[in-house]
Structure 1
Amino acid sequence: MTAGEALAAAAARLRAAGVDSPARDARILLAHAASVDAARITLIAPEDLSPDIEERFVNLVSLRAVRVPVSHLIGEREFYGRRFKVSRDVLDPRPETETLIETALAAPFGSVLDLGTGSGCILVTLLAERPQAVGTGVDISEAACLQASANAVLHGVEARADLRKSDWFDGVEGRFDLIVSNPPYLSADEMQNVQPELQQHEPRIALTDEADGLSVYRIIARDAARFLSPGGRVMVEIGWTQAQDVCAIFDAAGWQTIRVLQDLGGKDRVIQAQMAEIGN
């Protein structure tokens, strides 16, 4: 079987399994099985696959057909131009979260706190983009902290990243110019309808608060001011239907400047808040 034939057969199988972007996923998996760059797949399409590569590819496609995420099969995911190591212990970095990065980088900061750091993609990216900044990342999952630490080392920011286990602010000390978070914002009801990749293969604790999807925003709005430097910013990712509710939560907690920012698809994605005076 040639690479091109294998690719076509895999794409058809993934399409029949209901996988989004089956051709793209097949291409990525074949590149991984053959240990080549995905851009070279077209070049090797006329060539016969060796038996070992064909076996690896068939196994990968079989796993993808039962909705194991591509990132878990190849062990990494691209985010803001960098490769991040991932596993089923952390939420996959997603393109929508890059809106949070762009918003954070729009103003200077020397210190950053990342709440629920997961893979560390937000904290590590911000530190890589701002070489003079330092940061702390916290997560209630020890496995997530280890994954984030590995990514900090991978991208050379480990000396400036303090990663620790903490239930939101419980283990946090000091003040920060910037506080960021992509918290679990799906409601318990919404979890019943998410894709199998999320339902079966990503950590539930990173997806839902098992309530109305807003509980972590209440914690951040209530407590963040005590950890924020004067003039500092708080920035949270939201579900695209949650802007009104999250803005109301921050407004009720006394935040004076609240902005809603959209992602590249035009959907509400980030809430930024500031306070004229830091609370006690």
Structure 2
Amino acid sequence: MSGIAGDGGMADALRAATARISAASDTPRLDAELLMAHALGLSRNALLLRQRDLRVPPGFAALTDRRVAGEPVAYITGFRDFWTISLAVTPEVLIPRPDSETLIEAAVAHFTARAPRSILDLGTGSGALLLAALSEWPDAHGLGIDASPGALAVAQGNAERLGLAGRATFRPGDWAQGIDGRFDLILINPPYIARNVALAGDVLHEPDSALFAGVEGLDDYRRIVPDLRRLIAPDGMAAIEIGYDQKDAVSALLGDAGLTVRALQDLAGHDRCLVATMSKGTGAMQLTP
């Protein structure tokens, strides 16, 4: 045990926890503050504003030990902020990351003159993308698909807690198989890590089914892309998350399916999102820088 639980010394406790967590995290101070806030039942902002008046709760030491052992903060606290919402997360689902907000940013940029009314989220996981989109467009309705019953339960719980259950439907499925109709906005964050890639950090605790996609990391794109032309509504779009080195490979798949492709970068400057829209003509890929 760390020996930092006790009746006071908030600043000392946070410094000591930060030092210990630094071996397991690139953001040790943030992690320490989030764990302390969780132990106190407060928001991080409330902790920072009131820390001189607060005492270190006994449970903080155990939370710190779990983080030092490598367990992600989101799984320890049970929540992760994403876009403008806060989501419950469990080891059944991938932890939502700021990189994935690039897909929502792409949708906001696309739908400037009008709002999407119908949204499809393939591989919904915690429901992060679909629920973020529904929170952005209050007249929209959405369908989230996932192969994992555990993930669907988490997503349904998030929809209910956020007051969005009336506009969000979740059901089991195998990507787009059996889905009919067209959607203004399609959100897709499939597994895209190659099977032989060595992982480290938080992803070691996340479900393999949400991470790996064959030898090249492209298996699920190959299954999803052929269905997109029949699913994207006129003037609609699909926002597809990719790995940092997959722009050319996935763009080629989309182009071969007759879609126009535009790449967007995340905050770190990595290619992170491909926006696919219906091509005016048929045939070869059109890639917009």
The verdict on a shared fold, with TM-score over 0.5 as the criterion, is yes
Structure 1 gaps of 5+ residues are none
* 2:202 is aligned with 1:197: yes
Aligned residue for 1:60, secondary structure, equals helix
Q: 1:37 to 1:275 in 2, by over 3 A?
A: closer
Aligned with 1:139 (options 116, 137, 146): 146
Aligned with 1:62 (options 59, 65, 76): 65
d(CA) in 2 for partners of 1:269, 1:102: 11
TM-score (norm 2): 0.88
**Displacement of 1:254 after TM fit?**
2.0
Aligned with 1:74 (options 65, 72, 77): 77
Partner of 2:136: 129
* 2:64 is aligned with 1:94: no
Aligned residue for 1:6, secondary structure, equals helix
For residues 162-217 of structure 1, the C-alpha deviation after alignment (integer angstroms, 9 at most, x for no partner) is: 10000101242322112110110111122x2x223211x11111111133111221
Q: After alignment, is 244-253 or 40-49 more displaced?
A: 40-49
For residues 32-64 of structure 1, the C-alpha deviation after alignment (integer angstroms, 9 at most, x for no partner) is: 1122232243455455736xx12x100000000
Partner amino acid, structure 1, of 2:98: P
Q: After alignment, is 119-128 or 149-158 more displaced?
A: 149-158
d(CA) in 2 for partners of 1:132, 1:41: 36
Q: 1:175 to 1:13 in 2, by over 3 A?
A: same
* 2:237 is aligned with 1:233: yes
Aligned residue for 2:166, secondary structure, equals helix
d(CA) in 2 for partners of 1:77, 1:265: 20
Alignment of 1:1-280 (within 5 A): 1-15=8-22, 17-42=23-48, 44-46=50-52, 49=55, 53-54=57-58, 56-106=59-109, 107=111, 108-190=115-197, 192=198, 194-199=199-204, 201-255=205-259, 257-276=260-279
Cα contact 1:230–1:278 (8 A) shared by 2: no
Cα contact 1:114–1:180 (8 A) shared by 2: yes
Partner of 2:285: none
Structure 2 gaps of 5+ residues are 1-7, 283-289
Q: 1:246 to 1:205 in 2, by over 3 A?
A: same
d(CA) in 1 for partners of 2:50, 2:238: 48
Cα contact 1:110–1:133 (8 A) shared by 2: yes
Aligned positions, number? 271
Q: After alignment, is 81-90 or 263-272 more displaced?
A: 263-272
d(CA) in 1 for partners of 2:276, 2:219: 17
Aligned residue for 2:62, secondary structure, equals helix
d(CA) in 2 for partners of 1:43, 1:130: 33
Q: 1:44 to 1:242 in 2, by over 3 A?
A: same
Provide the aligned C-alpha RMSD in A: 1.9
d(CA) in 2 for partners of 1:155, 1:46: 32
